[in-house]
Amino acid sequence: MTAPYDLNDDSVVVIIGSGAGGGTLGNELAQKGIDVVVLEAGARIEHEDFINDEWDSFAQLAWLDHRTTGGGWRVSKDFPNLPAWIVKAVGGTTTHWAGASLRFQEHEFKTLTHYGEVEGANLLDWPLTLAELEPYYARAEDKMGVTRTNGIEGLPGNNNFKVFKAGADRLGYKECHTGRMAINSADRDDRMSCQQTGFCFQGCKWGAKWSTLYTEIPKGEATGKLEVRPNAHVVKIEHDDSGKVTAVVYADKDGKLQSQKARIVCVAGNSIESPRLLLNSASSKFPDGLANSSGQVGKNYMRHTTGSVYAVFEKPVHFYRGTTMAGIIRDEAKHDPARGFVGGYELETLALGVPFMAAFLDPGGWGRSFASAMDSYANMAGLWIVGEDMPQEQNAVKLHGEMKDKYGMPIPDVWFTDHANDVAMRNHAYTQGEALYAAVGATRSFPTPPYPSTHNLGTNRMSEKPQDGVVNKWGQTHDMKNLFVSDGSQFTTGGAENPTLTIVTLAIRQADYIAKEMAAGTI
């Protein structure tokens, strides 16, 4: 039933990327009867073919095109060609994601107002409020089947959660539960319930976890209005003299360049590829790249203030069994500057298998200290810190000065340095995490540094005024009416929450707007 559209069909909406943003938007538009072509750089790998093996799965799904990174963060030293851990496949990073689905808090849409000017930070209020988004959040939670919403039961707690919960209770934390997860706790939406397999990061072979790959995309395809073209790597967006985008150029599976005409183009390649594409689409009319009159394309790169705490106990935990992210503590998510930083953070359980634990526990670490930690693997529990980081102009996705990809386009160079606020928050979280595990009898704990970025945000940010950002409150670029941004790069600030629910929410809302404007003939 997939609708194949002609390359010269200039009535279609072209979406670049099929992940949380692009996949959702594609389905939402198709449901409204709008013709959509989704161009996806990666292959289509159905969930039955996912692999319960960390490195093999990584090779199967991860975005491994050449990237470089710089700045003060440790990732640039430990993983010089892997600034981010994201996916290149139909479904995007919703194949790898853990499923934590949290709404932003009201004040997080107005950080400049609530936090005030923070030196060195490029804070800005979103041109949106929580109240405006609430109906769309509700639709997203229903669509994704988020536990603890819509009457859906929470998931059962695994061993890692039980240790975490015991520690939370001893520290006096009040809001600790098995999370709001886009993972079925019972059969729903023709998908089965979680079997506690423990390979959520490798793609859920049961389809229990929401991914656009086997929810939004087939639903959209069933309308006959959505074509997903895999192995279609977009290299450039083209425009006419009037400043309207007209087509996108992509390399097909054989590396041959093709041009797909478009009425509207929506960029949803995640926060590294989306700004890269806008910058690489520079023309004589727009020498600084498309939609970049503000100069903000690629700037304000955020990746959440993260880190992990792993701890070793006298007796086994087997924390790798069951959902990878199996519980949350929300008490620290509030904005309470008395702690020495603005914004807040969430604590969420996390487990890695032996191969990834070796790579990420203490990147570069070796010797007895490291090996004995690994020897304690079965007795480990672990949590992940995810907190709001400060947007900073110099943290940016730039085009590499010399290196080009196989299509001749400059590769992205990702710069990031922690803000002092990020460091203070991470240290606070490390202290809390270590105290939590000590309270349950941990004999040793590890404040583990951030992994390559899984949450990539902010590089095409939303702003009220065109001079402050790239897109308006609908994700429509300030400069070009028929060019939209539909992924996490729209985020004005990052909040403390995992971003995907908000990305999906914005995509649903954007679809309504696009349909309305198309009907009105304004785009």
Ligand X SMILES: Cc1cc2nc3c(=O)[nH]c(=O)nc-3n(C[C@H](O)[C@H](O)[C@H](O)COP(=O)(O)OP(=O)(O)OC[C@H]3O[C@@H](n4cnc5c(N)ncnc54)[C@H](O)[C@@H]3O)c2cc1C
Q: Which residues would be at the binding site for ligand SF4 (CB under 6 A)?
A: 183, 194-200, 204, 206, 208-209, 322-323
What is the contact surface with other proteins in residues (CB under 8 A)?
52-53, 55, 156-159, 162-163, 166, 194-199, 205-206, 313-318, 320-322, 353-355, 357-359, 364, 366-368, 370-371, 374-375, 377-379, 440
Nearer to ligand X, 233 or 312 (CB): 233
CB of 274 to other proteins, least distance (A): 30
- What is the number of the residue whose Cβ is closest to ligand X? 19
Residue 20 near ligand X by CB under 6 A:
yes
Judged by CB under 6 A, which of 19, 275, 433, 449 binds ligand X? Answer: 19
Residue 377 interacts, among ligand X, ligand SF4, other proteins, none and using kind-specific CB cut-offs from 5 to 8 Å, with other proteins
What is the spatial distance between Cα 296 and Cα 445, in angstroms, rounded to a whole number?
40
Residue 358 interacts, among ligand SF4, ligand X, other proteins, none and using kind-specific CB cut-offs from 5 to 8 Å, with other proteins
Residue 183 interacts, among other proteins, ligand SF4, ligand X, none and using kind-specific CB cut-offs from 5 to 8 Å, with ligand SF4
Amino acid at site 324:
T
- Cα dist. 326→64, 153, 173, 345, 503 in Å? 28, 14, 17, 17, 22
Write the DSSP symbol of residue 157.
P
Residue 349 near ligand X by CB under 6 A:
no
Residue 245 interacts, among ligand SF4, other proteins, ligand X, none and using kind-specific CB cut-offs from 5 to 8 Å, with none
Residue 93 interacts, among ligand SF4, ligand X, other proteins, none and using kind-specific CB cut-offs from 5 to 8 Å, with ligand X
CB of 192 to ligand SF4, least distance (A): 8
What is the spatial distance between Cα 178 and Cα 154, in angstroms, rounded to a whole number?
6
CB of 51 to ligand SF4, least distance (A): 12
Residue 522: count of CB within 10 angstroms of its CB: 9
Residue 307 near ligand X by CB under 6 A:
no
CB of 199 to ligand SF4, least distance (A): 5
Which one, of 496, 504, 453, 426, lies nearest residue 175 by Cα? 496
What is the spatial distance between Cα 263 and Cα 195, in angstroms, rounded to a whole number?
43
Which structure tokens are listed for 262? Answer: 């478009």
- Cα dist. 262→29, 99, 220, 237, 509 in Å? 14, 33, 19, 10, 21
Q: DSSP string spanning 214-227?
A: GTHHHHHHHTT-EE
Task: Please identify, among the stretches 116-124, 270-278, 334-342, 432-440, the one whose residues bind ligand X according to the rule CB under 6 A.
Answer: 270-278
What is the spatial distance between Cα 24 and Cα 499, in angstroms, rounded to a whole number?
14
By CB under 6 A, the count of residues binding ligand X is 42
Nearer to ligand SF4, 92 or 322 (CB): 322
Nearer to ligand SF4, 206 or 407 (CB): 206
What 3-state DSSP class applies to 480?
coil
CB of 344 to other proteins, least distance (A): 28
Which structure tokens are listed for 58? Answer: 């990584």
Residue 149: count of CB within 10 angstroms of its CB: 18
CB of 194 to other proteins, least distance (A): 8
What is the spatial distance between Cα 275 and Cα 270, in angstroms, rounded to a whole number?
9
Task: Please identify, among the stretches 263-271, 304-312, 331-339, 411-419, the one whose residues bind ligand X according to the rule CB under 6 A.
Answer: 263-271
Residue 234 near ligand X by CB under 6 A:
yes
Q: Which residues of 80-119 are buried (b: 16+ CB within 10 A; e: fewer)?
A: eebbbbbbbbbbbbbbbbbbbbbbbbebbbbbbebbeebe
What SS3 string covers 264-315? EEEECCHHHHHHHHHHHCCCCCCCCCCCCCCCCCCCCCECCEEEEEEEECCC
Which structure tokens are listed for 343? Answer: 């914004």
Residue 16 near ligand X by CB under 6 A:
yes
Task: Please identify, among the stretches 35-43, 108-116, 311-319, 329-337, the one whose residues bind ligand X according to the rule CB under 6 A.
Answer: 35-43
Contacts of 269 (CB under 8 A, 6+ apart): 16, 17, 22, 41, 234, 276, 277, 487
CB of 159 to ligand SF4, least distance (A): 13
CB of 248 to other proteins, least distance (A): 37
CB of 196 to ligand SF4, least distance (A): 5
Nearer to ligand SF4, 392 or 498 (CB): 498
CB of 178 to other proteins, least distance (A): 11
Task: Please identify, among the stretches 152-160, 461-469, 493-501, 513-521, the one whose residues bind ligand X according to the rule CB under 6 A.
Answer: 493-501
Direct distance between the N- and C-terminal alpha carbons of the chain, in angstroms, rounded to an integer? 28
Residue 275 near ligand X by CB under 6 A:
no
CB of 448 to ligand SF4, least distance (A): 22
What is the spatial distance between Cα 20 and Cα 36, in angstroms, rounded to a whole number?
16
User: Applying CB under 6 A, which residues contact ligand X?
Assistant: 16-22, 39-42, 85-89, 92-94, 96-100, 201, 233-234, 268-270, 273, 277, 325, 454-455, 487-488, 498-501, 503
